[in-house]
Amino acid sequence: MSSESSVLECRNVTAHYDIGKGIRVRAVDDVELSVKGREILGLAGESGCGKTTLMRTIYRDVSPPLRVVSGSVTIRVKDGEEIDIYKLSDAELRRIRAKVLSYIPQGSMSVMNPTSRVKHQFFEVFRKYGRFKKGEILQQVKGRLQELGLRESILESYPHQLSGGMRQRTVIALATIMNPSVVLADEPTSALDVVYQRGVVEMIQNIRDMFGTSFIIVSHDMGLHNQITDRIAIMYAGKIIEVGKTDGIFSDPLHPYTEGLINSIPRIGGSKKLEGLSGLPPNLANPPPGCRFHPRCPYRMEKCAIEEPPIFRIGDRVVSCWLLEGK
Ligand code: SF4
């Protein structure tokens, strides 16, 4: 890995959907991204910009029509060993899932087995990773539920008997029970009311603090990123276009798309008219040439439509925009 402190690195990752009739959707294009130990990294951008595909690519949850064209995903396990996710056999991949790299996809109901009591779903996680005695498992699970503010009694429930907030927290407990190094969480607070959202935010922060877990939090909700993340990567049309510390991204967005996202956030009591983004993201089967944001960009220059901007490094910020050339 290029950085000593990184626990996960994506290098030049490109993934396409080949959806027939020669149509290729370039959902993830040449992505470079790293997550540090104990870090909560946000992945932000409008719907359809490739966030979920990038998470699936990192987790190697890849099947046709999705195809990883190039790049590598490397993870550092607790003894310091580095693993290239795409060089593992299927059996090796199953072993590191949950123990090293865990994934919480969107929609808690789709993750849980509706016909199985919650306790059996925890037993199933442990069964995949070795022989454990049920009593020992229950002791560990009850401890985790307590830490997450959930009652032991939910272990006897079926998923549909839990409220949305309890179910979401249970899914997060299932994903983190083996204390993985990195958790990928896709829209973990969507469809939750404000009270439950706050609970999930606190729980993620507690897990990071207690177990040193790193998170990638995917959300289109910039307010959530502002509350929970240490750094944010902004994704547009399959590309990472800006990465920086959360404070800096909010106080001084450098990429015009990031600026548009920040300006779209409604503020309590704010009387100023929102100056968000105009237009729509491009069709990724036929993205525009040059900078993919140029048809919507208020600052576009002639070369923006011709030449793709490279990555510019400004302090600890990474930005792909011609406005930063020579700065
Ligand atoms: Fe706008 Fe040009 Fe920067 Fe793209 S490269 S965001 S079009 S100024």
The residue to mutate among 241, 261, 304, 306, having the most atoms of ligand 1 within 8 angstroms of its beta carbon, is: 304
Whose CA is closest to atom 8 on ligand 1? 300
Out of 236, 277, 293, mutate this one to test ligand 1's pocket (max ligand atoms within 8 Å of CB): namely: 293
CB-based contact 216:43 (threshold 8 Å): yes
Report the nearest atom of ligand 1 relative to the CA of 303.
Answer: 2
Instruction: Please tell me the distance between residue 236's alpha carbon and the centre of ligand 1 in angstroms.
Output: 12
Domain boundaries, the chain: 6-115+158-324
Is the distance from the beta carbon of residue 105 to the nearest atom of ligand 1 less than 6 Å? no
DSSP codes, 149-168: T--GGGGGS-GGGS-HHHHH
**3-state SS assignment for residue 214:** strand
Which atom of ligand 1 lies closest to the CA of 294?
Answer: 7
How far, CA to CA in Å, does 189 sit from each of 12, 38, 122, 257, 311?
29, 20, 22, 24, 31
Question: Token pair of 38, please?
Answer: 């104990």
Yes or no: is domain 6-115+158-324 CATH 3.40.50.300? yes
Do residues 37 and 5 make contact, with C-beta atoms less than 8 angstroms apart? yes
Please enumerate in sequence order all residues whose Cβ is within 8 A of that of 47, keeping only pairs 6 or more positions apart, or say none. 220
| Residue 73 near residue 57 (C-beta atoms within 8 A) | yes
Is the CB–ligand 1 distance for residue 256 below 6 Å?
A: yes
Q: Kindly state the tokens that stand for 25.
A: 């959707």
The rounded distance, in Å, linking the Cα atoms of 203 and 108 is 16
Contacts of 274 (CB under 8 A, 6+ apart): 263, 264, 265, 266
CA neighbor of 245 nearest in space, from 260, 235, 234 = 234
How many angstroms does the Cα of residue 300 sit away from the middle of ligand 1?
Answer: 5
- The Cα–Cα gap between 324 and 65 comes to 36
| Ligand 1 geometric centre to CA of 230 (Å) | 26
Residues 231 and 242: beta-carbon distance below 8 Å: no
Q: What is the pLDDT of residue 166?
A: 85
Ligand 1 centre from 309 Cα, in Å? 8
Does the beta carbon of 309 lie inside 6 Å of ligand 1? yes
DSSP per-residue letters across 287-322: PPSSSTTGGG-TT--GGGGTS----EEETTEEE--G
* pLDDT one digit per residue (tens) for the chain, 327 residues: 555 589 999 999 999 999 888 899 999 999 999 999 999 999 999 999 999 999 999 999 999 999 999 999 999 987 778 999 999 999 889 888 878 999 988 876 677 889 999 999 999 888 877 667 888 888 989 988 887 778 999 999 999 999 887 888 888 888 888 889 999 999 988 767 777 778 788 888 988 998 899 999 999 889 899 999 999 999 999 999 999 999 999 999 999 999 999 988 776 555 555 567 888 999 999 999 999 999 999 999 999 999 999 999 999 999 999 999 988
For residue 10, which of 205, 216, 226 has the smallest C-alpha distance? 216
CA of 182 to the centre of ligand 1 (A): 33
**Tokens at 275, concatenated:** 């100056």
Index of the ligand 1 atom closest to the CA of residue 256:
6
